[in-house]
Structure 1
Amino acid sequence: MKEQVNVVYRGGQGEIAEKKSRFICSVHAVNTEDEAIAFIEKMRKQYWDAKHNCFAYVIGERQQIQRFSDDGEPSGTAGKPMLDVLLGKQLCNAVAVVTRYFGGTLLGTGGLVRAYSKSVQAGLKESIIFEKCCGKQVSISTDYNGIGKLQYIAATMELHTLDTEYTDKVVVKLLVPDDKLNEMDKKVTEATSGKAKIEIEATVSYGIHNGEIILL
């Protein structure tokens, strides 16, 4: 079974307060380590007057690259807890920067770990995140007798219909996950007695947000 991979489609910003210290988490989608570093530097410049700008990022669909920094906080109290939240959400290609404005009260090791973890959770809550899926854009041509069968197959297999064209024939464009491609091909062939023409038009990566297909 393929392990789920989640991506940040749209980054966001969340904030929490702990004993008058402000923790502002900025989340951003990245594709490379250079992009992650550039975002971290951008946040450092934006929040130049903050006491700490800690970060964590994960690059690669198998989370191959993992980096973090406590940026002056006690070792293990900021960057690693932040990274653990990203990994716990099964995220890849994402960076989080937590900016801390010190409120005058020390939080202690446990308090810092909780604060930095909660701030990343707050930032992710304000972001749009979904599972990254891989599939094929498939075009199926059939006569009008076959359209009902195609619609039934799409519904029972939970396939997303991208478009339907009606001319002297019917052309249905479906988004088919890779692991359902063979099953779909077999069912369409059997249902239409081999009359339907099936073409793979493109390989796509996509996500589903509020029921809407988003091509990546």
Structure 2
Amino acid sequence: MRDQRSHGEPEDDRYRTVAGESLHETEVNRSRFLCALAPAGTEEEARAFIARIRARHPDAAHHCWAYVIGADAAVQRGDDDGEPGGTAGPPMLRMLLRRGMRCTVAVVTRYFGGVKLGAGGLIRAYGGAVGEALDAAGTVTRRRMRLASVTVGHDRAGKLENELRAAGYAVRSVTYGSRVTIEIGLPGSAAAGFCAWLADTTAGTARAELGPEWYGPP
């Protein structure tokens, strides 16, 4: 078992992961390597995915895995699952990191084909299986966003909504009550600039409350 953790790194504003679960097969000297990929926001999600893949292929020789958790890659783990030490989990993990993957788990299931590959062959096969699976699956970028709730009077709401859209802000919803509430999806690093823009644009007649953050589209 390899366990590596990064410390003191600032949280990234965006990260790359896979859009959903996928499976890609490669063959090396008659051994089959099935690489299953999935997004995973936590170690619990990653381990649950690994367990599902094991249960799906109970007759396979090995289920080697690696995952990177956190937009800042704070948790990095890999496991050889009975292959010679350092020949499966570590090269899989290196491939995930080389491709800039975050919040991603990879499981490579091996069906032994009767030909020994040697340490170098295993390293290339396991790392290559992950690389080919990533190429086949494609990746998506998740951006750190923050919710902003803007309240404004009815007389100013329509104009402000148009100004928000024209300025490139992602309007998520508009709710009418005693005042109008407009919910905006902001890039996480843009909150201070948005509040200043709002005060200037509305001459202080609108108020913004900043809400929770998430990673994804606006």
TM-score (norm 2): 0.76
Unpaired stretches in structure 1, ≥5 consecutive residues = none
Q: Identity of paired residues, percent?
A: 33
Tell me what 1:111 maps to. 121
Tell me what 2:94 maps to. 84
Alignment pair present for 1:126 and 2:140: no
Encode CA deviations 1:14-51: one digit per residue, 9 max, x unaligned.
22222332111122344544543343333223212112
Tell me what 2:20 maps to. 10
Aligned length: 207
Q: 1:38 to 1:146 in 2, by over 3 A?
A: closer
Alignment pair present for 1:95 and 2:121: no
Encode CA deviations 1:168-212: one digit per residue, 9 max, x unaligned.
865422111231112111112112222223233x3130312xxxx
TM-score (norm 1): 0.76
Give RMSD over aligned pairs. Answer: 3.0
- What is the CA distance between 1:94 and its match in structure 2? 3.1
Q: 1:204 to 1:9 in 2, by over 3 A?
A: farther
Tell me which amino acid in the other structure corresponds to 2:67.
Answer: Y
Mapped partners of 2:51, 2:157: distance in 1 = 57
Q: 1:42 to 1:172 in 2, by over 3 A?
A: closer
- What is the CA distance between 1:154 and its match in structure 2? 3.9
Unpaired stretches in structure 2, ≥5 consecutive residues = 1-9
Tell me what 1:152 maps to. 163
Encode CA deviations 1:104-147: one digit per residue, 9 max, x unaligned.
33444443323222322344443764324141232342444563
